[in-house]
Amino acid sequence: MAISEQDRINLQKLTRKMGSENARMLLSVLGREKAFVDAITSPLGEELMSDVVNSLEARFELVINEKDNPETRAEIRVLREILRKWQKKINQYEQNKEKLMKALK
């Protein structure tokens, strides 16, 4: 894949400001995180996110109505952990994207 002249200039700027190893690591992590963000913001990813949130809400409703059991509470913990992990990946992507944009200024 050919790299544009503007991309070449941006990579040189990034390398000068961060050092080649740090720039390489940032771009590598950003690429991995972008794949996740692209997947989770796709129509299928949005449907999956909606399913997790709806499942969590349904289980909270059981707790509120005092119709829960230990399995329900275990499911809540699992669903919350999934959402926390997804949010962490999304936040990390946004932070690294911001670092990249600042380095390119």
Give the three-state DSSP class for 42. Answer: coil
Q: How confident is the model at residue 19 (pLDDT cuts 50, 70, 90)?
A: confident
How many whole angstroms from its chain centre is CA 93?
Answer: 6
pTM of the predicted protein model: 0.73
DSSP codes of every residue in 65-98: TT---HHHHHHHHHHHHHHHHHHHHHHHHHHHHH
Residue 59 and residue 72 in contact, taking contact as beta carbons nearer than 8 Å: yes
Percent pLDDT > 90 in the chain is 50
Q: How confident is the model at residue 3 (pLDDT cuts 50, 70, 90)?
A: low
- pLDDT of 32-66, one tens digit each? 888 898 999 999 999 999 999 999 999 999 999 99
pLDDT greater than 70 at residue 7: no
